[in-house]
């Protein structure tokens, strides 16, 4: 995409569904569409964003693992009462 195509795309997005709109419904739809676009092409994200995505995935996995352990340990302690 050359500079002119990029500017045109930004202008169209800003006119329709910008993710940072001051209108809640418009920004919500814009974020939804942005996430859909990213989801279809996430392997080609810039390195900085890909690294952030990796970190968020790892944190989420760690959080879910810790929550599962808490539930398992809580259930185990209930069985020993």
Taking only the tens place, the pLDDT of each residue in 8-22 is 999 999 999 999 999
Please tell me the total count of domains within the chain. 2
Answer yes or no: do 9 and 30 share one domain.
yes
Query: Do 36 and 52 fall into the same domain?
Result: no
* Whether residues 53 and 79 fall in one domain: yes
Nearest in space to 56 (alpha carbons), one of 48, 68, 19: 48
Question: 70: domain range?
Answer: 46-81
Residue 27 buriedness (CB in 10 A; 0-12 / 13-18 / 19+): middle
For residue 17, the 8-state DSSP code is -
Both 18 and 33 in one domain: the answer is yes
pLDDT tens-digit readout, 24-40:
999 999 999 999 999 99
The answer to whether residues 1 and 36 belong to one domain is yes
Is residue 50 domain-shared with residue 35, that is, in the same domain?
no
């Amino acid at each position: 995409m050359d500079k002119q195509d990029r500017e045109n795309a930004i202008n169209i997005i800003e006119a329709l569904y910008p993710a940072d709109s001051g209108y809640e419904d418009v920004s919500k739809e814009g974020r939804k569409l942005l996430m859909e676009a990213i989801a279809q092409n996430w392997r080609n994200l810039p390195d900085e964003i890909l690294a952030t995505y990796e970190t968020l995935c790892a944190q989420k996995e760690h959080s879910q693992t810790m929550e599962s352990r808490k539930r398992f340990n809580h259930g185990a302690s209930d069985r020993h009462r």
